[in-house]
Amino acid sequence: MFVPYLLDGWIVATLVALASGFAGFFVVLRRESFAAHALPMAAFPGAAAAVLFGVAQIYGLVAAALLGVGLLLWLKRGQRNDAATALALVALLALGALFLSLSGRYADAVYALLFGQVFAVGPGDIAPAVALGVLVPLAVLAGFRPLLLSALAPELASVRGANCGWVDALFLLLLALAAALALPVTGALLVFSLMTGPAGAACVLLRSPKAALALSVGLALALIWSALALSYATGWPAGFFTGALAAVLYLAARMWRRARRARPSPGWA
């Protein structure tokens, strides 16, 4: 399981979990489920174009995810129209399908990009993954207080002198980078699970924001390592374990909290 040619996969997966744990915490806190769902979709045609033109995937992913951020910010400015947004996302997916079919690697690339293919990671993917896997956590930590305060109430952050527009844009940017990094590993459809399952569970379990952030990252790491180990052991796809374990984590956390709430707790006085 830790043979050299798989080691790259483990390293990249670990970095993916780090970035997703940090970004996912604020996805849950800022209730940006939609963005976490939309940005991987927006990144998908970028990866497909990279396959078509023979460029390293990460560049196509990052470029398309950044375009996605621009699209989201533009949609946010006007009144959001659900139908238009949904159609734009579906059109991006269809564009990705076109690129893949023109590349001649339609069949296997569709599966890899939608559901992930962690052990296809090569040594050339390590450097950009390290860069993003370090940059996203550091940036989230540096922006921790404004991100937190504007999640609670944007006007409170504005009164204190924070520029909420910039904070929003920063968050979407970090989310896009994390999504671009995670997409080849978990697939476009399961980035959401990796980001929100562990973070959602952590937010349900702990009251302190810093402790919850730490737990979110820890659970994301545990999730992706378990998914990879199980995938290696069974030969089943890692995406299946990612989606299933994320749901199990979140539901278990909810049930635990409900059970605890049912008993009177002394800390409530």
Partner 1 sequence: MFEGFWTSQVVWNALLIGGAAAVLSGCIGVFTVLRGQSFAGHALADVSSAGGALSLLLGINPMLGFFGLGLLGALGLSGRRQGDGDLAAGILLGAGLGLTALLLHFAISLRNSTGAAAVVMFGSLFSAPPGAGALALGSALAGVVLLGVIHRPLLLSSLDAGLAAVRGVNIRLVAGVFLVLLALAVTLSAMAVGAILSTALLIGPAAAALRLTRRPGLACALAAGLGVFCAWGGVALAYASYGFTPGRVWPVSFFIVALVFCTYAAASLRRA
Partner 2 sequence: MSMALEVSGLTVRLGGREVLRDVGFALAPGAFCGLIGANGSGKTTLLRTILGFETAAAGRVTRDGAVGYVPQKLELAPDMPVRARDLVALGLDGQRFGFSFPSARRRRVVAEMLEAVDLLGFADQRVGELSGGQLQRVLIAHALVSKPKLLLLDEPLANLDLRAAAEIVALLKRVAGQGVSVLISAHDMNPLLGAMHQLVYLANGRAASGRTEQVVRTEVLSELYGYHIDVIRVHGRILVVAGDGHVHAHDHEHVATIP
Sites of contact with partner 1 (CB under 8 A) = 28, 31, 33-34, 36-37, 82-84, 86-88, 90-91, 93-95, 97-98, 100-102, 104, 106-108, 110-111, 114-116, 187, 189-190, 192-193, 196-197, 200, 236-237, 239-244, 246-248, 250, 254
Q: Nearest approach, Cβ of 82 to partner 1 (angstroms)? A: 5
Q: What residue 51 binds from partner 1, partner 2, none (CB within 5 to 8 A, per partner kind)? A: none
Q: What residue 73 binds from partner 1, partner 2, none (CB within 5 to 8 A, per partner kind)? A: none
Q: What residue 207 binds from partner 1, partner 2, none (CB within 5 to 8 A, per partner kind)? A: partner 2
Single out the segment in contact with partner 2 by CB under 8 A; choices: 111-119, 127-135, 153-161, 227-235.
Answer: 153-161
146, 147, 148, 152, 165 from 156: Cα distances, Å: 10, 12, 11, 8, 13
Q: Which of 34, 111, 144, 225 binds partner 2 (CB under 8 A)?
A: 144
Give SS3 for 116.
coil
Closer CB to partner 1, residue 112 or residue 157? Answer: 112
Q: Which of 90, 152, 247, 252 binds partner 2 (CB under 8 A)?
A: 152
Q: Nearest approach, Cβ of 103 to partner 2 (angstroms)? A: 42
Q: Nearest approach, Cβ of 207 to partner 2 (angstroms)? A: 5
**Cα 159-196-36 angle, rounded to 5 deg:** 70
Contact call for residue 155 and partner 2 (CB under 8 A): yes
- Alpha-carbon distance of 109 to 122, in angstroms, equals 16
Residue 264's CB: how many other CB atoms inside 10 A?
6
CB 253 within 8 A of CB 259: no
Q: Nearest approach, Cβ of 243 to partner 1 (angstroms)? A: 2
Q: Nearest approach, Cβ of 224 to partner 2 (angstroms)? A: 22
- Alpha-carbon distance of 192 to 27, in angstroms, equals 10
Structure letter (DSSP) for residue 78 = S
Q: State both tokens at 201.
A: 């569970």
Residue type, 108: D
- Alpha-carbon distance of 150 to 216, in angstroms, equals 20
Please choose, from the candidates 237, 205, 231, 201, the residue with its C-alpha nearest in 3D space to the C-alpha of residue 219: 201
Tokens 């269809």 belong to 94
Binding positions for partner 2, rule: CB under 8 A:
29, 31, 141-146, 148-149, 151-153, 155-162, 202-204, 206-209, 211-212, 267-269
